Structure 1
Amino acid sequence: MRNILKVVFGRVLFTVLCLIIQLIWIIALVWKLNQYYVWFATVIEIIGVIVVLRINAKSEFSAARLVWTIVILSLPLFGITLYLMFGRTGLTKRTKAYYEKVAAKYSPELTQEKEILLSLKKENIYIHNQEYYIQNSSGYPVYRNTDVTYYPQTEPALEAMLKDLENAREFIFMEYFAVEDTEVFHRIEEILLKKVSEGVEVRFIYDDFGSIGFVKPEFMRRMNRQGIQCRIFNPLIPLLYVFMNHRDHRKITVIDNHVSFSGGYNLADEYFNVTHPYGHWKDTGVRLEGDAVKSHTVMFLEMWNFIRDTDESYEKYLRRNTAFQSLQKGFVQPYSDTPLDNVTLGENVYMNILKTASRYVYITTPYLIIDNEMQKELCMAAERGIDVRIITPGIPDKKLVFLLTQSYYAALIRSGVRIYEYTPGFIHAKGYLSDDQVAVVGTINMDYRSLYLHFECGVYLYGYDAIMDIKRDFIETFPLCREIGLDYCRKRSVFIRCFQCILRLFAPLL
């Protein structure tokens, strides 16, 4: 039933509806509006031209502009309808001003300690410039005095999170793209209810689109009735709501502003291998303890009050544990990427890692749907001798998207990029590792939706021992994969390659 619901409420349904509308339009023109055909067709075409001009006047992703131009000019009514549902990435002035007002309330809490940046600058100017860019673009500072633990699998991450939830004393914040009202969440819910009874404040956010098919509409009411404050991000209102295309893809748990978890996994059974719809599910995450948790707390508070601004004061959530002293060395920077500005921070962080690498860059991503700029950076890194390796799924969760992912293999391989497919199942981890020094673990896929449309988050690490744990995970994962060569790409049938070409045309819409 869950998979059926996913299909019914997925983007495929909307696309089919648009095609039906276009078909009805054509039939109506032929049979009912024959005498007014020229006038109606002319009006629709004029509107289509105006929409195309408006799209190309915006400073948006260039490939997306090309796709919308082709679709709208070829099938005006279908294209305009589809664009109204999925193409409008901008916001009304009122919505954007509201978000900026909420964010401004918390920006004073994100003060960068200059001594940390100065210390980083002395140690590594290239990493300093990268982290300065992240801080300057997103507002989220660089921290020290933070313990970092990396989880190469979701099962130990879940057990660690359950243990920390048990130890909560003041508040618990949880924000996830998808939550499934089954076994894994029931274990979490049991602890949350216990903490509520002890007087701990519990808040929970989930994305409406991400959780379709996972929870029933009354889920939020049940949570609130039990004392767990629950809010839905961006409820789906097809065709009516300009903000529908933007989703909250972040995964964050914060406990007492002292411990936080983030990574690629949602709160659904398949992410923890309770169920196996796509073979073994591999995902990763990080646990932070110490000063850097403050950024995750701020991210949550911003989203909570963006949904509905109810916090008159917030200082109690941002108190620092002055007794904590980390023995780990390194610099850590949790950051958030939003679709509400003109900065593609998630993509730029990835590309900057490729630009500054001197030996290797290892990458995991469930979806490889990249623009020309990202493809160029990957190819150029490999062509100058950097060992660039990308791990993608061996068993896909979305077959069309997987075919599209595979369509990028040949060009990358020809430039020297090594492609691996994870044969045990589906790899959902999103991560970059470079030169034993730098790593990013987070929620940001290498696809158009993550890089341009979603609210995302990542954790940038430099100099931590956990980075070698990440490397060890890569080294242990490569033998579980099959390396893809050019022969594999050449042996695909002509039909599949032609179909992939068509999919590439619509890549920015998937």
Structure 2
Amino acid sequence: MKILKICLNRMFIFGVLILLQVLWLGFFTSSLLKSYVWLRPLMFIMSSAVVLWLVSKDETSAYKISWIILILVFPVFGGLLYLSIGNKKPSRVIRKKLQPVLDEIEPVMIMPQDIAYEMNDGKTHGFTYLSDLGFGTYQNTITKYYSLGDYNYCDLLKDIKNAKHFIFMEYFIVAEGLMFETILKLLKQKVKEGIEVRFIYDDVGSLTTVPYHFEKQLEEYGIQCVVFNPFVPIVSVAMNHRDHRKICVIDGYIGYSGGFNLADEYINAKVRFGHWKDTGIRLEGDGVWNLTTMFLSTWNAYRHDDKTFTQYMPDIYHHNHYPFDGYVVAYGDSPLDEERTGENIYMNLINCAQEEILIMTPYFIIDDAMMKALILACKKGVSVKIITPGIPDKKNVYKVTRSYYYSLIYEGVEFYEYKPGFLHAKMVLCDHKIATVGTINFDYRSLYLHFECNVLLYQTSTIQDIEKDFQETLSLSQKIDQKKSRRFRGLYEAILRLFAPLM
């Protein structure tokens, strides 16, 4: 029975189909080369041309080097392989769906309340940069920081219960279990009350955690549903681009984001890799609008339901003015453009730091530019502390993360590992006054391939909560010294690190 269950699993079936395609392509190409010997030098020339094109291409150096080495090792097939799956840009299908909606929503992305250009430090800390990209900076917003998904979950349930008009939810992973079943029960009740409920989940993120065509089940409950970039068992670069965002918007003026998905491990109702440490943020007020526009952009790409977007603005169902509590900007990152928004904000925080940079990240796979920025920060006298997981969820990625320790520790960066379990938080705090919390990991997939979102906070009361959480997490973490970090650098780690951009 167990073997039959595995064989009928969607992931297993898709894996077999993709493997068969790869084997067939290999056999077909090999047969073709045997029959037409003149093709071999032609493909070699094509591979050489691809290498020259990569050298001149405006691309991440680590990504280019990985492909160049792969092509040099396999000079006949390498160039063809890159042309097949090497391009990081989204497929025409995704672009054709999303770009028209982004163009349509652009005129209302920035509300008149945007104050990015009125701030004294607006240019220094990247607020004007984000405003130019369509992500306004707002006051009239109160924030609440969550040091665990467990705490976020309690407030999320309350806000869903109190929803009066609409609920928008967008998550990378949805898994059957206590957390989602409780939320689903509330959503079904809200549908009965006449409240509009829209739900987006990523197909690959939820490939093994919900039944096939789970969206049909949700639709039967009255929950409108979109499956982002449905996984098709065909060898294609399009499958690389996933919706890694975590967004919940309630009645336009309450919004959630952070690292937590809708699965039991995120609230520690299920133990997978020890204690699950995550972070999140709740916004109430004008700052929610950016989360709403991100959601609506994805939604209308698949189901063009909205002729106008202003009906979902924060002040439609809530007119309160909140006491001043700093500045808030929720921002997104997308592979549709050439703008590396997530990486640029991280780099800007590192470069602007005068005293201290505190980082929590589950994965630490960075390029040379960020390595140099961290080293330069240390040489300027800035304290740089980075916390990573003590128990990994992906062993090879964990090995790559650890391979960076030695070089950076030698230059003054301090690394710590969270001893109780897996740390899934994505957080950066700079000089006790500006922080970003959200979904963007320090790895190639988050920074270059996925659709992501973070929230940048400046002079808010939650900055103190973030710093307190970091110090408490630090007390539960083990510092890695240079001697120990030397053991994390081996031949296997070097190979993994070389091809990390392709993982």
Regarding TM over 0.5, the answer is: yes
Maintained 8 Å contact 1:85/1:244: no
Maintained 8 Å contact 2:327/2:458: yes
CA distance in structure 2 between the aligned counterparts of 1:307 and 1:499, rounded to whole angstroms? 42
SS at match of 1:403: helix
Read off the aligned partner of 1:96 and give its amino acid letter.
R
When residues 17 and 398 of structure 1 are mapped into structure 2, their CA distance, relative to the original with a 3 A threshold, is: farther
When residues 240 and 498 of structure 1 are mapped into structure 2, their CA distance, relative to the original with a 3 A threshold, is: closer
Task: Compute the displacement of 1:188 (Å).
Answer: 0.3
Task: Compute the displacement of 1:357 (Å).
Answer: 0.8
Maintained 8 Å contact 2:114/2:137: no
Read off the aligned partner of 1:198 and give its amino acid letter.
E
SS at match of 2:409: helix
Match of 2:341 in 1: 345
Match of 2:137 in 1: 142
| Equivalent of 1:200 in 195, 204, 211 | 195
CA distance in structure 1 between the aligned counterparts of 2:49 and 2:13, rounded to whole angstroms? 30
When residues 274 and 102 of structure 1 are mapped into structure 2, their CA distance, relative to the original with a 3 A threshold, is: same
Kindly provide the CA deviation profile for residues 459-498 of structure 1, in whole angstroms up to 9, marking residues without a partner as x. Answer: 0000011000000001111111110111002245xxx611
Maintained 8 Å contact 2:88/2:449: yes
Read off the aligned partner of 1:120 and give its amino acid letter.
M
Maintained 8 Å contact 1:45/1:73: no
Match of 2:500 in 1: 507
- Unaligned runs of at least 5 residues, structure 2: none
Kindly provide the CA deviation profile for residues 208-265 of structure 1, in whole angstroms up to 9, marking residues without a partner as x. Answer: 1111111111311100111000110001124465422111100000001010100001
| Equivalent of 1:267 in 246, 249, 262 | 262
Match of 2:461 in 1: 465
| Equivalent of 1:223 in 207, 218, 234 | 218
Maintained 8 Å contact 2:363/2:443: yes
Match of 2:43 in 1: 44
- RMSD over aligned CA atoms reads 2.7
Task: Compute the displacement of 1:145 (Å).
Answer: 0.3
Read off the aligned partner of 1:71 and give its amino acid letter.
L
Kindly provide the CA deviation profile for residues 335-390 of structure 1, in whole angstroms up to 9, marking residues without a partner as x. Answer: 11111111111001001001111110100010000000111111111111111000
Match of 1:163 in 2: 158
Match of 2:67 in 1: 68
- Unaligned runs of at least 5 residues, structure 1: none
Task: Compute the displacement of 1:58 (Å).
Answer: 3.4
CA distance in structure 2 between the aligned counterparts of 1:21 and 1:210, rounded to whole angstroms? 27
| Equivalent of 1:428 in 424, 445, 453 | 424
When residues 421 and 115 of structure 1 are mapped into structure 2, their CA distance, relative to the original with a 3 A threshold, is: closer
Of 423-432 and 46-55, more deviation after overlay is shown by 46-55
When residues 6 and 420 of structure 1 are mapped into structure 2, their CA distance, relative to the original with a 3 A threshold, is: farther
Of 235-244 and 411-420, more deviation after overlay is shown by 235-244
Task: Compute the displacement of 1:68 (Å).
Answer: 1.3
CA distance in structure 2 between the aligned counterparts of 1:126 and 1:11, rounded to whole angstroms? 48
Task: Compute the displacement of 1:278 (Å).
Answer: 0.5
Task: Compute the displacement of 1:57 (Å).
Answer: 4.7
CA distance in structure 2 between the aligned counterparts of 1:97 and 1:160, rounded to whole angstroms? 37
When residues 440 and 426 of structure 1 are mapped into structure 2, their CA distance, relative to the original with a 3 A threshold, is: same
Match of 2:452 in 1: 456
Match of 2:129 in 1: 133
When residues 308 and 381 of structure 1 are mapped into structure 2, their CA distance, relative to the original with a 3 A threshold, is: same
CA distance in structure 1 between the aligned counterparts of 2:13 and 2:475, rounded to whole angstroms? 38
CA distance in structure 1 between the aligned counterparts of 2:13 and 2:321, rounded to whole angstroms? 48
CA distance in structure 2 between the aligned counterparts of 1:115 and 1:230, rounded to whole angstroms? 31
- Percent identity over the alignment is 43
Read off the aligned partner of 2:501 and give its amino acid letter.
P
When residues 114 and 216 of structure 1 are mapped into structure 2, their CA distance, relative to the original with a 3 A threshold, is: closer
Match of 1:483 in 2: 479
Matches within 5 A, 1:324-343: 324-343=320-339
CA distance in structure 2 between the aligned counterparts of 1:384 and 1:363, rounded to whole angstroms? 18
Task: Compute the displacement of 1:274 (Å).
Answer: 1.3
The reply to whether residue 294 of structure 1 matches residue 292 of structure 2 is no
When residues 481 and 331 of structure 1 are mapped into structure 2, their CA distance, relative to the original with a 3 A threshold, is: same
Task: Compute the displacement of 1:302 (Å).
Answer: 0.3
SS at match of 1:294: helix
The reply to whether residue 417 of structure 1 matches residue 413 of structure 2 is yes
Of 258-267 and 71-80, more deviation after overlay is shown by 71-80
Match of 1:99 in 2: 98
* Number of aligned residue pairs: 498
Matches within 5 A, 1:387-402: 387-402=383-398
CA distance in structure 2 between the aligned counterparts of 1:11 and 1:88, rounded to whole angstroms? 22
When residues 164 and 72 of structure 1 are mapped into structure 2, their CA distance, relative to the original with a 3 A threshold, is: same
Match of 1:109 in 2: 108
Kindly provide the CA deviation profile for residues 21-60 of structure 1, in whole angstroms up to 9, marking residues without a partner as x. Answer: 687479x56xx975x3632423432443344444445322
What TM-score results when the alignment is normalised by the length of structure 1?
0.91
| Equivalent of 1:252 in 247, 255, 259 | 247
The reply to whether residue 154 of structure 1 matches residue 161 of structure 2 is no
When residues 386 and 451 of structure 1 are mapped into structure 2, their CA distance, relative to the original with a 3 A threshold, is: same
Maintained 8 Å contact 1:282/1:426: yes
CA distance in structure 2 between the aligned counterparts of 1:79 and 1:481, rounded to whole angstroms? 43
The reply to whether residue 309 of structure 1 matches residue 304 of structure 2 is yes
